[in-house]
Amino acid sequence: MKEKFVLPEGMIYLDGNSLGPLPVGVEEVVSRMMRDQWGAHLIKGWNVDGWMAQPARVGDMVGRLIGAEPGSVVMGDTLSLKVYQALSAALQMRPERKVVLSDSGNFPTDLYMAEGLIRQLDAGHELRVVAPQEVSDAIDDSVAAVMITQVDYRTGRVHDMDAITAKAQAAGAVMIWDLAHSAGALPVDMAGSGAEFAVGCTYKYLNGGPGAPAFIYVRPDIVHDVDPALAGWLGHEAPFAFDLDYRPGAGIERMRVGTPPVIQLTALERALQVWDGVDMGDIRAASIALSEQFIAEVEVACPELTLASPRDASARGSQVSFHFEQGYAAMQALIARGVIGDFRAPDIMRFGFTPLYLDSDDISQAVDIMSEILRDRLWDAPEYTTRQRVT
C-alpha cells in the first residue's frame, strides 16, 4: 500500500494519528475539480458535479469504515462542532437530567465544547470529568449523556465501546462516541454498538488533509426526533424553497449546517478510495504487530522511556506513547532526523502506527535513531529544548 501515498524520502512518519500523509491522486483530483468543475461549470457545479450530495456520499464512505448503516453519516464542519451538535441533541433528549459525563483522557476540545454549551444553556448542567478507568462506575441515573473519545489521544487507551454503551443505556443516558483516533485505526461497529451518536475527524487515519471536514453519525431510528440546535439551511427539508421557517431535513441530512467545503471534500473523497477493499480487521492486526515490535524494541534500546500506553494490545489504539521528562526536546531531535512523532504535554512522546504506509523496517530504523538520540543526549541542544512548535 505504501505506493498509494506521497512519502518524503528519508522520513519515517509516525504521526498519521495527527495528520495523514497526502495520498497519491489527491492533488490531481483536486486540480481537476477546480479546473473542470468550479472553473468550467461555476454555479452549475452544485448540480452537474454532485457537490450538493457530496456530504452524504462521502459520509457513506466513512460509514463503511465505522460499521455504520448507509445513510447514517454525513460530513461537515469540524469535530468540535459535531461534538456540540451531538451533545446539544442528547441533552434535549434527556431534559430532566443534568450531568454530562466525560473523562480526563478526552481530547480537550470535546470538554471545551461541552463547557461552552453548558454555560450557554444556563440550565444547571454539570460537566463531570472522571479518570478514564472510572467512566463505567460513574454512570448513574443522573447522567444525561456519556461523551467520551474511544481512544485516548495521549495514551492510546481504548474504551470498551459495547460495554460502556450498554451501561450508559441501561442507566437511561445517551451515548456519544468520539472516533477521532478510531476511524481508520481499528474496527468499529457503530450499528452493533447501539450508541445514539458518534463523531470524528478525517485528517488523521483517513488522510483527508489539513482541515478535512468532520463526520457525525446518528442512529437511524432516532434521527427523525433530533431537533438540530445548529439549524442551518442545508439541514432544512427544502433548502431552496427559502422558507422563513425551519423544518429539519430527512434523516441524517438535518445534521448538515452550511455550505459544504467542496474542495476539502473532494480531497477527502479521493483519499478515502485508498480504503477500497481494505479490511479493518487486517489493518488492526498489522497495527498491533507494528506497535508490539515498537514497544519491545524501545524497551530494550531506550530504557529512559517508560510506557504510557496500555501494555495489552487489545486495550490500546493504533498509537504508542512513552513518558520521558525531556520528551519535548527528544521529539524535536527525532523530528530533525526524519522520525516524525509528536509531543503532548506534559511529558508524552506519541507515535502512531499506520500499516497502510509503515512496515517493520521503518519501526526498527525509528528505534535505532531514537536510541542514538537518548544514548548520546543529542536532545540536549538549544534548538530542541526551546519550545516553538504550535502542534
Considering only residues 292 to 351 of the shown chain, the ones binding a copy of itself according to CB under 8 A are 335, 340, 342, 344-345
Give least dist CB 303 to a copy of itself, A: 27
Amino acid at 144: A
Identified catalytic residue from 203, 217, 351, 357: 203
Annotated catalytic residue 203: yes
Annotated catalytic residue 312: no
Task: Please state, in angstroms and rounded to a whole number, the distance separating the CA atoms of residues 358 and 13.
Answer: 8
Annotated catalytic residue 107: yes
Closest CA to 187 of 261, 279, 252: 279
Question: DSSP labels for 128-168?
Answer: EEE-GGGHHHH--TTEEEEEEESB-TTT-BB--HHHHHHHH
C-beta atoms surrounding 233 within 10 Å: 16
Residues 230-259 that bind a copy of itself (CB under 8 A): 230-234, 236, 239-246, 257-259
Task: Please state, in angstroms and rounded to a whole number, the distance separating the CA atoms of residues 217 and 307.
Answer: 33
Looking at beta carbons only, is 107 or 193 nearer to a copy of itself?
A: 107
Give least dist CB 16 to a copy of itself, A: 9
Residues 27-56 that bind a copy of itself (CB under 8 A): 27, 30-31, 34-35, 38-40, 42-47, 51-52
Identified catalytic residue from 82, 204, 219, 316: 204
Residues 150-189 that bind a copy of itself (CB under 8 A): none
Closest CA to 216 of 253, 258, 172: 253
Residues 200-219 that bind a copy of itself (CB under 8 A): 201, 203, 209-214
Annotated catalytic residue 350: yes
Sequence-ordered strand ranges (E) for the chain: 12-13, 73-76, 99-103, 126-130, 143-149, 174-178, 197-200, 214-218, 306-307, 319-323, 339-340, 342-344, 348-352
- Exactly one of 116, 192, 281, 303 binds a copy of itself (CB under 8 A); that residue is 116
Q: Are 115 and 127 in contact (CB under 8 A)?
A: yes
Give least dist CB 74 to a copy of itself, A: 14
Give least dist CB 176 to a copy of itself, A: 16
Annotated catalytic residue 5: no
- Exactly one of 1, 121, 191, 301 binds a copy of itself (CB under 8 A); that residue is 121
Fill in the per-residue mask, 263 to 292: x = in contact with a copy of itself (CB under 8 A), - = not in contact: xxx-x-------------------------
Residues listed for the chain:
391
- 261 binding a copy of itself? (CB under 8 A): yes
**Cell numbers standing for residue 75:** 460530513
Q: Which residues are catalytic?
A: 107, 178, 203-204, 350
